[in-house]
A and B are shown apart, each in its own frame.
Chain A
Amino acid sequence: MSNTENKSLGKIVNDLTRPLKNHKGFIFWIIFLALVIINGLVAYYGQLKIGLGTTALSDYVSWGLYISSFIFFVATALVGMLISSVLGLLGIKWITPIARIAEMVAIGFVMLAGIVIILDMGRPERLLNVFVHARIQSPIFWDATVVTFYVIISLLLFLLPLIPDIPFLKKTMTDQPKWKQLIYKMLSFGWVGSEEQYKIVKRSMRILAILIIPVALGIHTVTSWLFAMTPRIGWDSTIFGPYYVSGAFVAGSAAVVILMYVIRNTYKIKDYITEMHFDKMAKLLVLVMLVYVYFNINEYIVPAYKMKSGDDAHIFALFAGHFALMFWLVQIGGLLLPTVLFLFKPFRKPLPAMLISIAVVIGAFFKRYIITVPTLVHSNFPADNVPASYTEYWPTFSEWSITFMAIALALLIVTILAKLFPIMPIWEVAHDNGISNHEMNLFIENKQEDNEEVEIP
């Protein structure tokens, strides 16, 4: 943004609050999400009534599509930490307009990660037993803990930079329904824009930005431990923690690029989220994808070179056997090819970057499937006379419906947040455009007096 001309505060406020009032096309998107969710609810009703028999899960493959999407959700949610914390703490300026998008993704996806686990339970009414009979020694318990923390911290990291925006919303959204104004009122926390208040918000954001780094690393490392802490072929790996974390950055960054594109076009804010942002995000993706490629090489070449018995069947199933098609599509189409393409400038333009990111996200989803399922189709112990159905798994229609419902719910959360609150912090954008706190306060007070046109004070 620095290379474009500075915008006036009035224009900024106008540009960023206008999309919250303009609902053209929005209703179709909501109807679409609602249909997907209703379809999933019908399937879930069947699953509640009949039990997990409506899925293709069996004695052997007891973790299927649901758990794969659980890891996918957790992974995608990690981008909130990468962009607003890691890059933010490094003082990188261009993240201002996209940090809130990343935080929305984090909130939507990590909440659904928790829900997917419940969807995978045959007897969800026994959920409390998980806590009543908790074993503090179990990674599953650590995972539940750290997911909860991540939800709370992400919500706070979303809320804090929102507070200074609230006065702008209160002023401009007077023509909006009462419940919206009530929400804004509740979230204002008595904000008047004093120096002391800015200090508190900035310091609190900094504390959380630091705190969320170990928590986010924790959430995905522990998720990987759900697998790596069991001595099973394909999971029994010491690099699973960093392998998952690096993969998470790939999935999350690509998801943010897609969302950036959609928001940029529907909200008509092309001079806020600029081509430069896509260029930077694509370069960031190259970095994280290369790290992920590196971990993939380690994860597959090391066992493939040794071909220990047991490993051999697993590696063969991935490289040339039953799972080969999906494996290579994921590895090449979802990882290697996007990395190479993003090295060239034309592919870092908004539209191609978005399309490539879709391939990356789909690849990331099925990558989790490739990690979860192939290990399970082999028995953990020597076994005879195993029914053929145990060693085959492909999700049923019901499973797909429920999984899509979860994805739709995550997108619904993101949509609601993006429709209630400015897609980027007005005050931070104003700072970037050289507008002082004092000017902002004057603007708010002026507007209080006459409510007509957005004026430049």
Chain B
Amino acid sequence: MKNIITSAIFTLLLVSSFGVKAQWEISEEVKNKKAPNEISQELALKGKKLYNQACVSCHGTPTQADGLLPTATDLGSDKYFDRTEGEAYFQITEGMAAMPGFADKFSDEERWNIVHFIRSYNPESTVDISSIKTINYKIDVKLNDSDKSIVATISADSSVTVSGVKMEFFVKRYFGNLPITAPVVTNEEGTVTVAFPNDIPGDAHGDLEIIVKFENSDLHGTAEFRKNVAWGTHTEYVDILSQRTMWGVGSKAPWWIIGIYFGIVIGVTLTILYVVFQLFLLKKVRNK
């Protein structure tokens, strides 16, 4: 029953989005609004991420015209290329009819990044990110136990330069990743070498996880390297809750406090019982 209602509502929505063809009302001033940052590969890629989260379901992948809602414009088609960036920004921010507004969901910066992404499909755009996703980067890492050095070599399956790329090196910690150096730039061969510090705590066996990745993985994909090595110092883990402490649970109370508490309780109770016993003795001694 519930499903029927939901689908009925959805159908209604669909029909209304077909039927009521409202119009965008966009002033000249809005149209001429400029993005705070120039379009760049980096920003457009950030926008792409957000687009894939929030827009792709209705609008489909740009240029593919595969969106769920037929009325939702394919933003990579030539139907859309005549819009200015200010116009796109306004449309994403405010929404109209079946198109939701995203003012509350995304920050200003994020909405501009989405605009940059959409506009990267424009043939006049200086930025083209369509080629980027086809490159597959690979990170090969050699861990030298002798001098605890990490040698990372970056390769790509197409002829892209992998020199001059910033690489980051981390050790995985409980609440996040600890960088062990500042980002290091690959040399001509696409290789970087860093020395691993001697004083990073590992687990009981000195094990820890090393992570190597691109400084900006938006730009180069998510290729990363992770491996456990016994390069850390040995840490004795003490489970503080398994000990008898003042801060532990009731069943883990320190013996001394249990002793004092029950010592007092028993002492006072016995004294009270003695007095109560005396009360009942009164009757016995009435004739003395």
Contact = CB atoms under 8 A, between A and B. Distances in A.
Contacts of A204: 275, 278-279
Given A137-B247, A207-B274, A190 B286 contact: yes
A232 B16 CA distance: 60
Given A142-B261, A204-B275, A207-B274, A215 B285 contact: no
Given A137-B246, A196-B288, A190 B257 contact: no
Contacts of A215: 268
23 contacts: A136-B253, A136-B258, A136-B261, A137-B254, A137-B257, A142-B261, A156-B272, A156-B275, A159-B279, A163-B282, A189-B279, A190-B286, A191-B286, A192-B286, A192-B287, A194-B287, A196-B285, A197-B282, A200-B282, A200-B285, A203-B278, A211-B272, A215-B268
A191 B280 CA distance: 10
Given A136-B253, A194-B285, A211 B261 contact: no
B283 interface: yes
B288 A195 contact: yes
Nearest to B244: A137
Contacts of A195: 288
Given A197-B286, A211-B268, A211-B271, 18 more contacts: A133-B250, A135-B249, A136-B250, A136-B261, A137-B250, A137-B254, A145-B261, A152-B272, A156-B272, A160-B275, A160-B279, A189-B279, A190-B286, A194-B287, A200-B281, A200-B282, A204-B275, A204-B279
Interface string B236-274: 000000000011111001100110010001001001101
B265 A145 contact: yes
A208 interface: yes
Interface residues of B, number: 28
Contacts of B254: 137
Interface of B: 246-250, 253-254, 257-258, 261, 265, 268, 271-272, 274-276, 278-288
A134 interface: yes
Interface of A: 133-137, 142, 145, 149, 152-153, 156, 159-160, 163, 189-192, 194-197, 200-201, 203-204, 207-208, 211, 215
A211 B265 CA distance: 12
Contacts of B282: 163, 189-191, 197, 200-201
B26 to A, nearest CB: 35
Contacts of B287: 192, 194
Interface of chain B: mostly helix, strand, loop or mixed: helix
Contact of A194 (B250, B278, B288): B288
Contacts of B271: 207, 211
Contacts of B283: 189-190
B71 to A, nearest CB: 40
Which of A152, A156, A191, A204: most chain B CB closer than 10 A?
A: A204
A386 B247 CA distance: 29
Nearest to A132: B250
A27 to B, nearest CB: 34
Contacts of A197: 282, 285-286
A293 B74 CA distance: 81
A394 B34 CA distance: 53
Given A136-B253, A137-B257, A197-B286, A207 B275 contact: yes
A388 to B, nearest CB: 24
A163 B271 CA distance: 20
Contacts of B281: 200
A215 B286 CA distance: 32
Which of A133, A137, A159: most chain B CB closer than 10 A?
A: A137
A195 B274 CA distance: 20
Contacts of B275: 156, 160, 204, 207-208
B261 to A, nearest CB: 5
A188 to B, nearest CB: 9
Contacts of B280: 189
Contacts of B265: 145
Nearest to A163: B282
